[in-house]
Amino acid sequence: MTGSGNSNSPGRKRCVAIFLSTDFHIRSFSSGSVHDDLMKNFEVHLFVEKNLEYRYQLKGKEYSLFEISTSAYSIFPDVLDASLLRNINKSSSFRFRLKRYLFGDYRRIVPFSAKGCFRLLRATIHSLMPLYNNLVETYANLSQFDEETEKVLSRISPDLLVCWAQSIEPTVMATIVAASKTKSKSVLVYDNWDNLSSKAVLVRHPNYIVCFGKQSLQFAEAVHSIEKSKIFAIGTSRFDVYQDARFNSDFHRRESVLIAGSSLAMEDEEILTTIEAYLDSNEVINELKKFKFIYRPHPKPQGKSPSFENWPYKHIRLDNYAQDNSDWQSQDGIRDLLCKQKLVIASPTTLIIEAILAGSEVIIPAFHIPKIKSSNRKMLSELEHLKILRDFVALKVVNTRNELIQQILRVLLANERKKEGNFDADFVVQMKPGSFSSRFNDLLLDLSKTSSDKYGDQSGVKIVD
């Protein structure tokens, strides 16, 4: 990877260094044309964490590998948990997360998790002053890029250090620390719906934050105390595949229903059994027989899953992709699948936003299931980012099995999709003007032209209470 000189040199393109530390972020970054668009205006230096499996998705792109001390990864859970506990009243998602540590996802003979109790006790100790200050300072000192990466950054003197982010993981902290050393500006790209409301409070602020939409912007302000002028709600590269309006135009011709599995696979059995029982009954309406019902399990399920080898549901087809592939499907593949569905029945994940963008209606089953503690019903009531869902027009939350069947009939017998309201996908994720890639490119051009002097010294760790 080449690059030299100072960012103020005449005729030189502005320089941006981009860091990807998870397979999810590689997949997201590769979904659109972010890299190619940036190359037109910037000298782009791409850095990828050494041990990732999805690097094949970056074929044709030049990148360097980076490492961060294993000690930083070891201490990261302690920082995360202590931040959750210190800021427990800032988000109901924080309380949900801590309770999940303590009680687990499934009902057991012993109601408490010994591991979770120990983790909560340790977080309580670490959250106390001055231990918390010392913990964060130690974490910042450990979260450093490897020597070779530091040398490259020193040589290329980037205007912006951009990091795809989830919370305050080591790569995020290392990006903020490196920006202070090189006099660059740090930009964190929070590339998922719940990141800014559920992961913990940032223990050190970047210069700028990029996020999904207006909802995420509000979380960045309220939960993380970031100044509004430093937050940019411009969407996600993953959703550029939904830009074409023709994907929304054929609702009345769609003859397929997708049942998308939950990460807590045991909940899927309740939904599948309910739908199968109706389709197999004498009460089934003839018009429903033309519809294909397809089940696609979650790519990374937890707990007991339905048996693929002895598939017990004769009216519900098992999706072929689920049997042949173990990793995440491409965004193009997911879009093509969703654009065929008249209805998507799913847990409250980012997939439901994609389904709405693809022109489907959505049903979220929120049954009372005693054996599952972190059920859809519980998540809808306790996770901060999900509390707006009941106001969505293109989505229906159902609380009983009978209500699920009634809503399936309502959607499948309709000729037109319900129109979206003010609190639908556009509030969650920004989709215009243009593509995410163009919006991101324009934003980075503006940020790279802004003088860094007014931000002062970033070298001290800022503790956020």
- Label residue 305 by pLDDT band (50, 70, 90): low
**In this structure, CATH architecture of domain 244-426:** 3-Layer(aba) Sandwich (3.40)
The answer on pLDDT for 421 being more than 90 is: no
More confident residue, 4 or 336: 336
Q: Reply yes or no: is the peptide bond before residue 10 cis, omega within 30 of 0.
A: no
Contacts of residue 86, Cβ cutoff 8 Å, sequence gap at least 6: 127, 132, 201, 465
Average pLDDT on 40-65 reads: 93
Find the helix packing angle between 70-86 and 92-103, rounded to 10°. 110
Least confident range from 42-46, 338-342, 424-428: namely 424-428
Instruction: Count the alpha carbons within 13 Å of 153 in the hemisphere toward its beta carbon.
Output: 31
The answer on pLDDT for 384 being more than 50 is: yes
Q: Which two tokens stand for residue 84?
A: 């959750």
At 419 the pLDDT is: 64
At 393 the pLDDT is: 80
Report d(CA 152, CA 173) in Å as an integer. 18
Average pLDDT on 33-60 reads: 93
The answer on pLDDT for 274 being more than 60 is: yes
The answer on pLDDT for 257 being more than 60 is: yes
Query: Phi and psi for 408 in degrees, rounded to 5?
Result: -60, -45
CATH number for the 14-69+141-240+431-455 domain, one of 1.10.390.10, 3.40.50.2000, 3.40.630.30, 3.30.70.1350?
3.40.50.2000
Q: Reply yes or no: is the peptide bond before residue 299 cis, omega within 30 of 0.
A: no
The answer on pLDDT for 313 being more than 80 is: yes
Report d(CA 120, CA 353) in Å as an integer. 33
Decide if 14-69+141-240+431-455 and 244-426 have a common fold. Answer: yes
The answer on pLDDT for 294 being more than 80 is: yes
The answer on pLDDT for 391 being more than 60 is: yes
- Label residue 86 by pLDDT band (50, 70, 90): very high
Least confident range from 174-183, 242-251, 338-347, 428-437: namely 242-251
Residue 215 CA: distances (Å) to CA of 136, 377, 384: 28, 21, 10
More confident residue, 430 or 116: 430
**Residues 347, 378: contact at Cβ < 8 Å?**
no
Q: Considering the chain, what is the average pLDDT of its residues? A: 86
More confident residue, 282 or 160: 160
Report d(CA 18, CA 153) in Å as an integer. 11
Task: Write the single-letter amino acid at 125.
Answer: I
- Of 457, 443, 455, 448, residue with least CA distance to 158: 448
Query: Sheet of 395-398: strands edge to edge?
Result: 316-318, 292-296, 256-260, 343-345, 361-365, 395-398
Average pLDDT on 117-123 reads: 92
Would the pTM count as exceeding 0.85? yes
At 454 the pLDDT is: 34
Average pLDDT on 134-155 reads: 96
Residue 298 CA: distances (Å) to CA of 107, 259, 366, 395: 21, 10, 17, 20
For the chain, give every domain's residue range. Answer: 14-69+141-240+431-455, 71-136, 244-426
At 319 the pLDDT is: 84
**Residues 69, 177: contact at Cβ < 8 Å?**
no
Alpha helices in 4-130 (DSSP H): 23-31, 34-39, 70-86, 92-103, 114-126
More confident residue, 108 or 142: 142
Average pLDDT on 37-66 reads: 93
**Residues 26, 54: contact at Cβ < 8 Å?**
yes
At 298 the pLDDT is: 80
**Residues 382, 414: contact at Cβ < 8 Å?**
no
At 38 the pLDDT is: 95
Q: Report the percent of the chain where pLDDT is more than 90.
A: 61
Average pLDDT on 175-203 reads: 93
The answer on pLDDT for 151 being more than 70 is: yes
At 321 the pLDDT is: 66
Average pLDDT on 405-412 reads: 95
The answer on pLDDT for 206 being more than 70 is: yes
